[in-house]
């Protein structure tokens, strides 16, 4: 038996050490999909007018990213390189269809608000990027954790943008009136261009707080 095989047998399948924790925490700060990698901007512009819709989208992306990573990692050694992108898209599309059907049955109102944007998770560069960069080269457990971490990192920024836009654009937070009658809602904040400005400000704040990110990407 080779030394590599012996080492692999000694390593626990579901270990949760420093490396595994880093897979979950890195996307929250040092390698955030939106503020550092500048990925997934399209959906961040489109679905962040309300916190509840953004929260649902965040959960959907966490689910799809985690389980697509898991599926592709399990199949990685049997996927021909010539069709790997097609297999990845099929896995993502299957999971997105599950999300759509569950959301349609559980909360039809939010489903209609998100409409086509749920389907566009299939082309989300964060999901595809993690499959190519991580799941195709790592084991199922680490790939699953990587998917969860990147999904949460994406979701945190998504919800933060939505909170700012809903609060100043409608005076509400999660459809609850926060600002009183004295505040006149700023209609500009619910338009798509405002999301770009908010994301830009969050990127600036993030990199000002974490100086190691200056000149990254």
Q: pLDDT, tens digit, for every residue of 131-175?
A: 999 999 999 999 999 999 999 999 999 999 999 999 999 988 888
3-state secondary structure of 15: coil
Q: Map out the domains of the chain as residue ranges.
A: 37-202
CA distances from 178 to 44, 101, 123, 159 (A): 23, 33, 35, 17
Q: Could you tell me the two tokens for 175?
A: 């459809």
Taking the complete model, does pTM exceed 0.95, yes or no?
Answer: no
Indicate the DSSP class of residue 49. Answer: T
Q: Quick one: pLDDT at residue 124?
A: 85
Q: List the beta bridge partners of residue 172.
A: 177
CB 74 within 8 A of CB 87: no
pLDDT, tens digit only, all 217 positions of the chain: 444 444 344 445 777 888 889 999 999 988 999 999 888 888 788 888 889 999 999 999 999 999 999 999 999 999 998 899 999 999 999 999 999 999 999 989 888 888 788 888 888 889 999 999 999 999 999 999 999 999 999 999 999 999 999 999 998 888 888 887 888 888 889 888 888 999 999 999 998 888 888 776 5
Beta strands in 73-216 (DSSP E): 172-173, 176-177
CA distance 71 to 143: 9
CA distance 53 to 60: 11
Sorted by sequence, the CB contacts under 8 Å of residue 156 that are 6+ apart come out as 28, 32, 58
CA distance 149 to 2: 33
């Amino acid at each position: 038996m080779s030394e590599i095989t012996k080492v692999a047998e000694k390593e626990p399948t579901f270990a949760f050490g420093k490396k595994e924790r880093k897979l979950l925490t890195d996307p929250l700060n040092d390698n955030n999909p939106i503020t550092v990698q500048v990925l997934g901007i399209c959906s961040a512009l489109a679905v962040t007018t309300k916190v509840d819709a953004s929260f649902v989208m965040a959960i959907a992306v966490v689910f799809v990213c985690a389980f697509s990573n898991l599926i592709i990692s399990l199949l990685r050694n049997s996927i021909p390189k010539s069709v790997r992108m097609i297999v990845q898209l099929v896995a993502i599309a299957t999971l997105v269809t599950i999300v759509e059907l569950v959301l349609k049955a559980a909360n039809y109102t939010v489903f209609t608000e998100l409409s086509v944007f749920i389907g566009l998770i299939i082309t989300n560069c964060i999901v595809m990027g993690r499959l190519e960069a991580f799941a195709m080269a790592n084991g199922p457990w680490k790939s699953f954790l990587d998917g969860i971490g990147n999904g949460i990192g994406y979701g945190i920024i998504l919800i933060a943008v939505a909170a700012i836009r809903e609060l100043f654009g409608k005076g509400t937070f999660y459809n609850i009136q926060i600002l009183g009658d004295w505040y006149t809602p700023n209609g500009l904040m619910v338009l798509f261009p405002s999301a770009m400005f908010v994301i830009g400000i969050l990127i600036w704040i993030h990199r000002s707080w974490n100086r190691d990110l200056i000149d990254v990407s």
